[in-house]
Structure formats: C-alpha cells, structure tokens
Amino acid sequence: NKAGLKLIKKFEGFRSRFYVDKGIITIGYGHACHVYDCSKIHPPISRAKGEALLKKDLVVFEKCVDSLTQIKLNSNQFSALVSFTYNLCCEAYRRSTLRRKLNAG
C-alpha cells in the first residue's frame, strides 16, 4: 500500500547515483545491482525513476511474503513484512523466527 511504499522509501533513502551499501552496488531506493542488471541505468536518476525501480523490485518480495505467510494480514501488516523482506531477502524471511511465530498464530 501507499503507506508501506512511503515507509520503505524513508528507511532506504534515495540516492540518484550508484553507491556501495555493505559491498553491494546500489542506486535509487536500494535497487541492488547484484540482483538486477543496472547496465542500462544512467545516473543521475530522478526520484520518479527510483520509485519505479523500487515498485518493480517489490513485486518479488510481495510474492515471497504472500507465499510464506499462512495467516491473514491486513494491508499495513503485509506492507511491514514486505519492507522487512526487502531489507533482508526472501530467504531470511523464510528462515525467520518472525515468520514462524506469525504462522503459529
């Protein structure tokens, strides 16, 4: 939802040029070049381009949360879990105590 997108953008921050985050080349709102081909990205990018990259990236994490979460979530809960998963990766969410406790009720 819009609040979740705003939350992720706030936590990630925006960079119009490539930067290194924990050894990973990144641009925009955390668009990781080791996962996605960044060869066609020509900095500086606009905030709108950064948001478009983020929205495209989030589709994978939304599917991950949806497939691994067995309880019904409201929109804000879902967005918070997508934010968590975007930051850590799908495999980390799959192995997390958070996911196990949620699914256990």
Structural domain harbouring 67: 2-104
Rounded to 5 degrees, φ, ψ at 96 are -70, 150
How many structural domains compose the chain? Answer: 1
- Over residues 22-77, the pLDDT tens digits come to 899 999 999 999 999 999 999 999 999 999 999 999 999 999 999 999 999 999 99
Q: How far apart are CA 105 and CA 30, in angstroms?
A: 32
Q: Which pTM does this prediction carry?
A: 0.92
Query: How many Å apart are CA 55 and CA 78, to the nearest integer?
Result: 15
Which positions are annotated as active-site residues? 12
d(CA 68, CA 72): 12
pLDDT at 20 (0 to 100):
96
Say which CATH number the domain at 46 has: 1.10.530.40
